[in-house]
Amino acid sequence: MKTALSVIFFFHFLPLTAQISISGRVTDNKNKALRGVSVALKNTYDGATTDSTGHYSFSTDEKGEQQLEVTISGYYAISQKIVLGDSPVTLNLSMKEQITELKAVVISAGSFEASDKNKGAVLSDIDIVTTPSANGDVTSAFKSLPGTQQVGESEGLFVRGGTATESKIFMDGNLVNNFFFSSTPGMATRGRFNPFLFKGTIFSTGGYSALYGQALSSALILESKDLPEKTEADLGISVVGVGGGIQHLSKDKKSSWGVSVNYTNLWLAFNVIKQKQDFFQVPLAKQADANFRIKTKNGGFIKYYGYISTNKTGFRSPDIDSAILKDAFSINNINTYQNISWKDRIGNGWKINTGISFSTNKDDIVNEIQDADNGKFTGTNPLFNYKNFNLLNKARYAQARVVFEKKLFGLNAIRFGTDYFYSNEKSTYTLYDGTKFTQQVNDHLLAAFAETDIYVTNNLAAKIGSRLEHSTIIDKWNIAPRISLAYKVGANSQASFAYGIFYQNPERKYLPGLAGLDYSRASHYIFQYSKQTKNYTLRTELFYKKYSNLYKTDSSIGGREIAANNNGYGDARGIEFFWRDKKTIKNVDYWLSYSYLNTKRDFLNYPTAIQPSFAATHTAAFVFKRFFLPLKTQFNLSYNFATGRPYYRIAKNASDKYMITDAGKTINYNSMSFSVNWLPNIGKKDARTFAVWVLGVTNVLGQNIIYNYNYSYEGSRKEAVTPPSKRFVFIGCFLSFGMDRTQDAINNNL
């Protein structure tokens, strides 16, 4: 018994007899002290945390071979074997910094990101809908950023001296054709898609990734939302129409579906706000969409989005070649779009991102010359007769795409894939006398691409890629290398550089062209410096873009302009600034952007290299947002400015050569827009209904806006292209009814 007890006491007290101390210093690889590092003997309570000088010290009763675990977030953990004998141990350690998204430089030359999650984003999702000049249009918000033109006479983004067709829009990796409602003469149409569909948007003003192609200037990359946060129904009523939808989230929060319908009718708005044109068919649109999203077991997503819409518009405007006659233009459009994508982890660090999309578009355009009583004018003057026509465009598109990605050490990754795009576009042009001209253009565009992200350290990263393309229209291969570098120069600042070659096919309306066409081509060189904190963003970019092989058109064959050769060329250079400040003035968030652009090009029917009519030399935008808490109201103001743009009358001379017979410059563009968002239910945690009231006024001051000039046939008269009305007022109320299932969720978990 005595022995047994002594054994117990021996065992019990033995550990207390011989404590030894372990101490040392932990530094980073630049020998700077690391504070807060946990140093622990594995499977024991013993350990310490380093102090501000990087020192640690503790004692232990353990003996023999032990494992010392050294950890701190942001650094690679160290697990070191140590042997504990009788003498104190001194161990100095150096830790290697992890390359993490939080710390690493962001490859950002040429791109602006709108996102709530990603570092380096300059706009948040909500900015897209609260920028008053944007009117809730996805692409318009980007017109308040540097690099874009204030073009209002036609839709699309005109970037750094490029045309709108040089900017392409991608949704979940797939190209979206007919992103905008069909063009109408002299008026910009809106994007078809609801801005709330997207969670992240990257707007590249140049130097974009090898994953995308067929855009000489710019890519707008939209990523659709994952699962909604809760089941929700919404309803919107405004002066332009009504709409509503449901988003349903499954009980296990692994899948969701949604449907929505929209009816737009501008009858009321156009009756109140006088339009320049005489609308015999006010813009009327019916839209329906549906989606489902399924979260896979590996955290990936299967997403489907389908959309169908019909819309029509018809209006009369005075014919420029006559004092009494009118042009009556009308369009009927049916558009469908379907996109299904699958993004997943497939093991071993590999990811797959694949999708297919189909879309169709049908435009039925009728133009008629009418007399003073709006009756069809039938005369013998061919000038007017040719304005009586019917144009029927039918298009079908299909795309399939697969991208594989492998995550390597740290943030390093390789990505490669292939993309196939089919387009079938048929147009039938019917002249006043019933003569029909039908053209059909088919294209099979095949692309393969590879790209790698290389993070040398948290301070230096590169994205190197290349794209290979073959289009049956051109029947040649092209290869387009792309390089981006980013280097961190300070805690919050970085310098970036991007270079790339970009190719594009001729615009559909100039096809079929003459034989022997090649791809048009642009090379981008972009240098960026940016400094960004939570509250401030400063960016400046210097760029040079060189165009070659631009399409020249010819109208001597078949009576219409067709792509004739690749003798066009041009360049664009400039400097841009962006400053956003959320801090200096309390509750105020504002940004300022400025762009200087120097560009000339010779393309289409231009007789020589000139500054194109869609390019202003100086462009600036100011956006101001202030939230008044007591009023639960946000006031937004934006001011857009651009110097006058050149305009030209280009006509054939006696020897059948194009020449400029008249030219000028428009007045400066000034427009101030204002919007108020009132959120009466904000902050009411138990509120089942969330309402947003919106009042928006564009061109509040009623400033005179001239986009361009149209010339009469023989050139003696010119007429300003102006917005359809001085200003537009939007009033709407958007309600969402949260079918809040928090309670169910809790009950199910119990």
Partner 1 sequence: MKKLFISAFVLLTAVASFAQSEKFTAAMKKNLAAMDSSFKNPPDILNVANNFERIANAEKNQWLPYYYAAFCQVNYGFMEQDKDKIDGYADKATELIAKADSLSPNNSEISCIKSMIASCHMMVNPMQRWQEYGQESNSNMEAAMQQDATNPRPYFLKGQGLKYTPEQFGGGCKTAKPQLQTALDKYATFKPANDISPNWGKERTESLIKDCK
Q: Which residues bind partner 1 (CB under 8 A)?
A: 1, 4-5, 7-8, 11-12, 35-36, 38, 40, 42-49, 52, 73-74, 102, 116, 124, 126, 229-230, 533-534, 627, 629-630, 632, 682-685, 742-743, 745-747, 749-750
Residue owning tokens 């900017």: 167
At 125, give phi and psi (nearest 5°).
-55, -45
Nearer to partner 1 by C-beta: 554 or 589?
589
* Shortest Å, Cβ 1 to partner 1: 6
Q: By C-beta, is 320 or 538 nearer to partner 1?
A: 538
CB of 744 to partner 1, least distance (A): 11
Extract the tokens encoding 95. 């830790």
Nearer to partner 1, 49 or 617 (CB): 49
CB of 632 to partner 1, least distance (A): 6
- Contacting residues for 279 by C-beta, under 8 A, at least 6 apart: 266, 270, 313, 314, 315, 316
Question: Which one-letter amino acid corresponds to residue 55?
Answer: H
Nearer to partner 1, 714 or 744 (CB): 744
Choice between 280 and 627, CB closer to partner 1: 627
Phi, psi (rounded to 5 degrees) for 508:
-55, -40
- Spatial CA neighbour of 184 closest among 285, 269, 262: 285
Nearest approach in angstroms of CB 486 to partner 1 is: 19
Kindly tell me which of 49 and 722 has the beta carbon lying closer to partner 1: 49
Alpha-carbon distances, residue 293 vs 172, 183, 430, 662 (angstroms): 13, 32, 44, 56
Pairing of strands 167-171, 218-224: parallel
Nearer to partner 1 by Cβ, of 16 and 323: the residue is 16
Pick 43 or 472: Cβ nearer partner 1: 43
Shortest distance (Å) from residue 55 CB to partner 1: 13
- What minimum distance in Å lies between the beta carbon of 444 and partner 1? 44
Closest CA to 497 of 452, 460, 450, 547: 460
Q: Would you list the DSSP string of 431-462?
A: -TTS-EEEEEEEEEEEEEEEEEEEEEETTEEE
166 three-class SS: helix
Task: Report the residue number, 124 or 457, with the smaller CB distance to partner 1.
Answer: 124
> Could you tell me if 591 and 636 are in contact, meaning their C-beta atoms sit under 8 angstroms apart?
no
- Please, are residues 566 and 573 in contact by the beta-carbon 8 Å criterion? no
Shorter beta-carbon distance to partner 1: residue 126 or 414: 126
Provide, rounded to whole angstroms, the least separation between the CB of residue 537 and partner 1. 14
> What does the alpha-carbon distance between residue 390 and residue 327 come to, in Å, rounded to a whole number?
13
Nearer CB in complex with partner 1: 230/396: 230
Q: Which residue has the tokens 């492998």?
A: 406
**Residues pairing with 677 in the sheet:** 634, 694
| Element (DSSP H or E) covering residue 125 | helix 125-130
Amino acid at 664: G
Residue 528 CB, nearest approach to partner 1 (Å):
21
Question: Measured from the CB of residue 8, what is the shortest distance to partner 1 in angstroms?
Answer: 5
| Maximum C-alpha span of the chain | 131
Would you state the structure tokens that stand for residue 625, as one six-digit string? 């947002």
Q: Which is nearer to partner 1, 123 or 672 (CB)?
A: 123
Handedness of CA 16, 17, 18, 23 (dihedral sign): positive
> Shortest Cβ distance from residue 681 to partner 1 (Å)?
9
Measured from the CB atom, the residue of 126 and 695 that comes closer to partner 1 is 126
Q: In the bound complex, what is the minimum distance in angstroms from residue 58's beta carbon to partner 1?
A: 10
SS3 248: strand
Instruction: Indicate the residue among 533 and 653 with the shorter CB distance to partner 1.
Output: 533
**Strand 350-370 with 389-407, pairing:** antiparallel
- State how far the Cα of 498 lies from the Cα of 110, in Å rounded to an integer: 7
The length of the chain is: 750
Q: How far is the CB of 738 from partner 1 (least distance, A)?
A: 9
Nearest-CA neighbor of 37 among 29, 26, 46? 26
Q: What phi and psi values does residue 127 have, to the nearest 5 degrees?
A: -60, -30
Q: Are 624 and 618 in contact (CB under 8 A)?
A: no
Q: Nearest approach, Cβ of 291 to partner 1 (angstroms)? A: 20
Between 102 and 324, CB nearer to partner 1: 102
Cα distances from 262 to residues 137, 257, 303, 441, in angstroms, run 15, 17, 21, 33
| Residues 201 and 138 sit within 8 Å (Cβ to Cβ) | yes
Structure tokens at 108: 């950002």
Residue reference for tokens 């209006």: 315
For residue 303, the minimal CB distance to partner 1 (Å) is 20
Residue that has been written with the tokens 């018994």 in this structure: 1
Name the one residue in this structure whose structure tokens are 């299967």.
302
CB of 531 to partner 1, least distance (A): 14
CB of 636 to partner 1, least distance (A): 14
Q: Which is nearer to partner 1, 155 or 589 (CB)?
A: 589
Radius of gyration of the chain (CA): 31
Q: How far apart are CA 434 and CA 437, in angstroms?
A: 10
